[in-house]
Amino acid sequence: MSVLGALEPKRVFKYFEEISAIPRGSENMEGIAKYCMDFAEKHSLKAVRDKANNVIIYKKAAPGYEKAEPIILQGHLDMVCQKEQDSEIDFMKDGIDLCIDGDFVKAKGTTLGADNGIAVAMILAILEDENLPHPAIETVFTTDEEIGMIGAIKLDFSLLSARKMINLDAEEDDSVTVSCAGGSDFKVSIPVTRQTKSGSKITVTLKGLKGGHSGVEINSGRVNADILGGKFLDRLNTEFDIISINGGDKGNAIPNNCTIEVFTNCPDSFVTEAERCLADIKAEITETENDFSADITVTGTGEYLVLSEKLKNDIILILTGVPNGVLAMSSEIEGLVETSLNLGILKTEDEKITLHHTLRSNKNSSLKELEGKLRAFFAQFDCTTESFGHYPPWEFKENSRLQKLYKETYRQQFGKEVKVEAIHAGLECGVFASNIKDLDCIAIGPCLFDVHTVKERLSISSANAVFKLLLKILEKSC
């Protein structure tokens, strides 16, 4: 039974519901790519699928638009998979459980995937409709955007002839994005040395933090659970060893929980001290993180493999000393974060501890400088580092005809001026602009809230308004 069947625009939400039923977390692109190719075949549209599972679907110009410049419509197929701790969903094989709450589409206990599923749904609805006025359209559905824009980087741009592009990966309907940050991933691997001790194991879970998108929310004051875990351990005035510490599973999401397993011979003293520290921390962050809480559980007694004393001290030093969050604001664009980084993944395994940072900057020089600072910081520890997943910033383009058209059309539809913005989050526009000479590009989208978290939601009325606006833009692109 359809959950979204009564929503407008019907075809958009029909396709959104269909793709939500397909598992499509990053690196799990087979099913959604096949769905797009089957769609193209069903509607007799030329399509190409490459080895990275990117899909390009071509639609000829409508009558009267044969001489108009072609246009690219672009979105990404993958989604960030986050879930509540008690959720039983298997993102590798299960779809998203959708629900409606007033003006919002939400998911039950997981991320919604409207980032960027709503873009895919809008584009499919346009491709399907044979009565729309529009120039030739080249639709590009990229893969693995959320883990470094891998699909876009691997795309064969010779398959595209258009020099205009509308990216549908923005998240506010009252603005048009015209520039974005570039970025990279920085991974640290620390070899684990352990020793066996007999005593009690205690599990401390930090939870209830807001989390969020590390580009969009990095300057909102939201607390990183991994960094908070280091602060908690550093403040403990009692004897303990670390068994493991884990928080976050996506480099570009601010971790909202962290689980720490510690060893102690004095469990009662440890619990008392931990409660004191956590009460102090809660008081310090309550204005921005009012839902923060922590569980302390004595989980067993026996023999445990604990980190060596040196490694324990190194981990605490790293978590309390490594740069994190906003590092620089733009001197050119008021209110724009220029350079930041986010510790998105902290994982303890048998043989290593891994830290995965996502770096962003609207300037290539600042991004390189940040990577150098991280290498210098970690050089004092026994570890290996690697930098990968580089993607370029998208620089502002003067005298953009597409920007002008969008601003005029927005004013006519809504009776007000659209905000023209540069953002700190990464968009695939940077990859496209670096590969297509003189690309004229904008990024738009409906209102999304709390993306990359289990609170993610999509405004239904906003999706309707943006879709109508997109159709007007295509109609005027003659």
pLDDT in tens, 281-317: 999 999 999 999 999 999 989 999 999 999 999 999 9
The answer on pLDDT for 390 being more than 90 is no
Asked if the structure places residue 79 within a domain, the reply is yes
* CB of 107 closer than 8 Å to CB of 39: no
Quick: pLDDT tens for 52-63.
999 999 999 999
The answer on pLDDT for 364 being more than 90 is no
CA distance 240 to 233: 9
Give the range of the structural domain holding residue 312, as residue numbers without chain letter. 185-390
Quick: pLDDT tens for 314-327.
999 999 999 999 99
pLDDT confidence of residue 59: 98
Do 441 and 378 fall into the same domain?
A: no
Asked if the structure places residue 301 within a domain, the reply is yes
What whole-number percentage of the chain has pLDDT above 90?
A: 88
Do 232 and 257 fall into the same domain?
A: yes
Do 382 and 464 fall into the same domain?
A: no
Asked if the structure places residue 189 within a domain, the reply is yes
Give the active site residue among 17, 18, 115, 145: 145
Q: Is residue 145 among the annotated active site residues? A: yes
Preceding amide of 9 cis, omega within 30: yes
Q: Where are the alpha helices (DSSP H) in 256-400?
A: 267-285, 309-321, 364-378
Q: Which long-range contacts (CB under 8 A, 24 or more apart) does 433-436 make?
A: 433/392, 433/394, 433/395, 434/392, 435/155, 435/157, 436/157, 436/160, 436/163, 436/165
Asked if the structure places residue 228 within a domain, the reply is yes
For residue 438, the number of C-alpha atoms closer than 13 Å in the C-beta half-sphere is 5
pLDDT confidence of residue 467: 98
Number of domains in the chain: 2
* Bridge partner list, 394: 180
The answer on pLDDT for 85 being more than 90 is no
* CB of 340 closer than 8 Å to CB of 424: yes
Question: Average of pLDDT values for 365-392?
Answer: 95
pLDDT tier for residue 392 given thresholds of 50, 70 and 90: confident
CATH number at residue 58: 3.40.630.10
The answer on pLDDT for 333 being more than 80 is no
pLDDT confidence of residue 153: 94
Q: Is residue 268 among the annotated active site residues? A: no
